[in-house]
């Protein structure tokens, strides 16, 4: 039996949460009379979803936070109408729902996907190496960094230097584009720092 949304303004935040999972709610989100409230609650919900869903993925969290910030800024500057911003926010929700499912499609676990995204942040690397090689690098980075990271690594320069060299060796091994290598190494280490707290609890 199909379930349909029957929303009022009072439970709008619940409706928006449902919207991320069930497209049948789109009509109610778009047609609420309190348009400014709709924007505010969509923004609040998406901020929370980005923090929760991409807590350990530096690239995706930055990407969607910047997208959300840009849309809201354009709305506040009155360069887009309320109806437009609602459509853009709903579309953004669809996009990050798709982003969440990419790990399964690529055959990567959450840690590997985070490193894959760090590597694929360079479009030249994606063109030159392709998905399969980037997945191999991501897998090796996740395994190697997990095994070599200590609790206090981020405040110990000698340990950071050792890990930096290890990451560089892995990237060179797979012929990652050299002109973007330093940026990729730093992004990989930033990603490792985000994951290290979670690794320390395992």
Query: Cα separation of 35 and 62, whole Å?
Result: 27
Residue 49 neighbours by CB distance under 10 Å: 20
Confidence of residue 185 (pLDDT cuts 50, 70, 90): very high
Domain boundaries, the chain: 12-100, 105-200
Out of 34-38, 131-135, 174-178, least confident range:
34-38
Contacts of 68 (CB under 8 A, 6+ apart): 43, 46, 47, 50, 89, 92
For residue range 80-127, list pLDDT tens digits in order: 888 888 888 888 888 877 887 888 889 999 999 999 999 999 889 999
The pLDDT score that the predictor gives to residue 69 is 94
Structure token pair of residue 170? 């892995």
| 59 pLDDT above the threshold of 80 | yes
- Distance of CA 142 to CAs 88, 111, 200, Å? 34, 6, 14
| 15 pLDDT above the threshold of 60 | no
Residue 8 neighbours by CB distance under 10 Å: 9
The pLDDT score that the predictor gives to residue 34 is 63
Instruction: Give the DSSP letter string of 88-151.
Output: HHHHHHHHHHHHHTHHHHHT--HHHHHHHHHHHTSHHHHHHHHHHHHHHHHHHHHHHHHHH--T
Q: Among candidates 85, 140, 62, which has minimal Cα distance to 108?
A: 140
Percent of the chain residues topping a pLDDT of 70: 78
| 171 pLDDT above the threshold of 60 | yes
Percent of the chain residues topping a pLDDT of 90: 40
The pLDDT score that the predictor gives to residue 180 is 86
Structure token pair of residue 184? 């990729």
The answer to whether 160 and 154 have CB atoms below 8 angstroms apart is: yes
């Amino acid at each position: 039996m199909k379930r349909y949304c029957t929303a009022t303004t009072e439970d709008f935040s619940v409706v928006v949460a449902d919207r991320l999972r069930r497209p049948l709610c789109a009509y109610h989100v778009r047609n609420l009379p309190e348009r400014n409230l709709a924007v505010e609650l969509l923004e609040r919900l998406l901020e929370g979803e980005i923090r929760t869903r991409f807590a350990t993925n530096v690239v995706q969290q930055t990407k969607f936070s910047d997208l959300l910030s840009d849309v809201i800024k354009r709305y506040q500057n009155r360069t887009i109408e309320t109806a437009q911003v609602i459509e853009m926010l709903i579309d953004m929700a669809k996009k990050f729902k798709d982003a969440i499912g990419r790990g399964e499609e690529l055959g990567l676990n959450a840690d590997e996907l985070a490193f894959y995204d760090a590597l694929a942040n360079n479009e030249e690397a994606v063109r030159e190496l392709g998905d399969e090689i980037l997945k191999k690098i991501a897998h090796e980075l996740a395994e190697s960094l997990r095994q070599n990271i200590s609790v206090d690594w981020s405040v110990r320069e000698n340990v950071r230097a050792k890990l930096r060299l290890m990451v560089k060796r892995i990237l060179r091994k797979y012929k990652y584009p050299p002109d973007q290598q330093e940026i990729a190494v730093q992004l990989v280490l930033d990603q490792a720092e985000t994951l290290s707290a979670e690794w320390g609890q395992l």
